[in-house]
Amino acid sequence: MNTRAGTHPTPPDATGPAAPALVLADVTLEVGDGDGKIRALDGVSLEVATGEFVAVIGPSGAGKSSLLAVAGALAAPTSGHVEVLGQDLASLRRRGQGQLARFRRQHLGFVFQAGNLIPALTAADQLRLAHRLGRRRGEPRGSDPLPLLEAVGMDHRATHRPGQLSGGERQRVGIARALANAPGLLLVDEPTAALDRQRSHDIVALLAAQAREHGVAVVMVTHDHDILTHVDRVTEMVDGRLQPA
């Protein structure tokens, strides 16, 4: 069953190794200013292959969300090189914030704690809006959100608004929405924070299936060590630096 709403932007090359979905090379990110300046990322290097599912663990304040922000083109690194799906983000940034935002909408998916859904929209409309905003040139206007909602087990709640859904259900809709434009890279921040053990496993199994079946690279920040059985690789962040866990 094809549960994707669009076409994968960088299909895995059957004849040779595909370019990594994410490359961070010696990335530093300084935040705050003056005496309060903090090095949130300190010489971070990471490569994530197409279809690979990587978890980033580490103590509070270690720099995990900063890593997602830099990988997701939401923050410009102070130094170092970031490449997403073969695209150098610094050169895209030089072409303007509009280019960067378009790239984000078209090629990246974000999943945050508790889904971050728009309160007034039904589950189906959350996906329709994401698709409309991230539509690539030449792509058809309309998109049927039901197959993706079905893939996350939420088609029976298509007409419900976030206030009518449980935490786990909202998270599922958030994942479906993040997949609405068939992203090559999915950035996920604490997806199980509001969920019980069984639902946490279900959500992370869903992410793993996206990686395996559709070649989506997934980088997931988590404090939840129970769910690490689903991922391909675990890396730990301590004081802004990455190390194998």
Ligand X SMILES: Nc1ncnc2c1ncn2[C@@H]1O[C@H](COP(=O)(O)OP(=O)(O)OP(=O)(O)O)[C@@H](O)[C@H]1O
Residues that bind ligand X (CB under 6 A): 31-32, 38, 40, 58, 60-66
Question: DSSP readout, 181-214?
Answer: T--SEEEEE-TTTTS-HHHHHHHHHHHHHHHHHH
Minimum gap (Å) between residue 123 Cβ and ligand X: 27
Minimum gap (Å) between residue 10 Cβ and ligand X: 27
* Exposure of 87 in the CB half-sphere (CA atoms within 13 A): 23
Minimum gap (Å) between residue 81 Cβ and ligand X: 19
Q: Which is nearer to ligand X, 33 or 244 (CB)?
A: 33
Q: Which is nearer to ligand X, 62 or 217 (CB)?
A: 62
Closest CA to 134 of 169, 170, 110, 113: 110
List the beta bridge partners of residue 82. Answer: 24
Q: Which is nearer to ligand X, 18 or 73 (CB)?
A: 73
Minimum gap (Å) between residue 14 Cβ and ligand X: 37
Q: How big is the CA angle at 128 (ends 125 and 130), to the nearest 5 degrees?
A: 110
- One-letter identity of residue 143: S
Minimum gap (Å) between residue 31 Cβ and ligand X: 4
Helix (H, G, I), strand (E, B) or coil at 172: helix
Q: Which is nearer to ligand X, 198 or 243 (CB)?
A: 243
Q: Which is nearer to ligand X, 197 or 223 (CB)?
A: 223
